Structure 1
């Protein structure tokens, strides 16, 4: 006896339309991997850095890294963004009562070892941009945006207490110092010192925000 042909509706009823979900990616180890990437970048430079070296340093599988970061350049950008965001706690910004006091209080003086390590990391970024110019915008965002976000909060606070006029271009003012610092490191290849940052605060940021003559840096 021949089997009855299945009607189209029977095929629809027996077909499993449930989406096949892949295994959810585990991002819990991302901080360790990004830290390992920074360490390798600082030690070897961008040209000498490989995903294999980062995977070995982080004790992670190379395939795991490639699933998360399709290219070495993307891994480096994320690692630098993580480093910059960890330098600032937006929930614990200084509150000295003045915009200048807050901006100066945010300046952290790194140890010689920390400063040297960051210079090596930034030098690696310069090499990366030369080889992957399409990543330049992502690099700028990674190293400028964290400090700019903190500056926005400080400027809004200054507006609320009446120190800064409410119609000030807060976005522009917030971006000035981080952008100048990025230019100094990436283009001029010079370290960002406390003296440099205070000169930018007094000579550019405060006049733009408050419209008053710059305070002498010697008062820092």
Structure 2
């Protein structure tokens, strides 16, 4: 008896998982519909019916709620800036250790090769997560824990960028490194 052919959501999920896995293991330049279809256990026609380019498929997979980043996490709401920052950065580190995060790394590292694709990834994935960090900082400003001048995209990007740098240099970032980034960099940077 032959296996049941996947359709609908099951097929889409398999395709998205395949594209993220393939991208994480290589680079965007090496990503082809042939490789994705083979990894997903489907034919290329199933991909071409819905996406005209690998870039469209990458964006769909990264923004998918089940396999990609979907909606950003809600602000932790612990009532303390330090605890909120640690919770958000820990969430980011966990995401980097999943296929979706590993797929994001080559896109960020080689953004100069595909600036249009990176701008779309930034709009769909990075910016919404930055908004959560900005929300946490706004709440801290209201409580008197952070300076109003710290409510900038550059300040908000410091923690995630340090996490990315450490991940590229040495793999997974541990809890002590996250706490150090918060205590040694982010809290002094945002202090009133």
* Correspondence for 1:210: 191
Residue 169 to residue 130, structure 1, CA distance change in 2 (3 Å): closer
* Correspondence for 2:171: 191
* Correspondence for 2:160: 178
Residue 32 to residue 210, structure 1, CA distance change in 2 (3 Å): farther
* Correspondence for 2:3: none
Shift of 1:196: 4.1
Residue 118 to residue 89, structure 1, CA distance change in 2 (3 Å): closer
How does 1:148-159 map onto structure 2 within 5 Å?
148-159=130-141
Conservation of the 8 A alpha-carbon contact between 1:40 and 1:49: yes
* Correspondence for 1:99: 81
Greater Cα radius of gyration, structure 1 or 2: 1
Residue 60 to residue 117, structure 1, CA distance change in 2 (3 Å): closer
Tell me the TM-score normalised to structure 2 length: 0.65
Question: How many corresponding residue pairs?
Answer: 178
Q: Which runs of 5+ in 1 are unaligned?
A: 1-26, 212-220
RMSD (Å), alpha carbons: 3.9
**Per-residue displacement from partner, 1:71-106 (whole Å, max 9, x unpaired)?**
21332244334466259422xx32322101111123
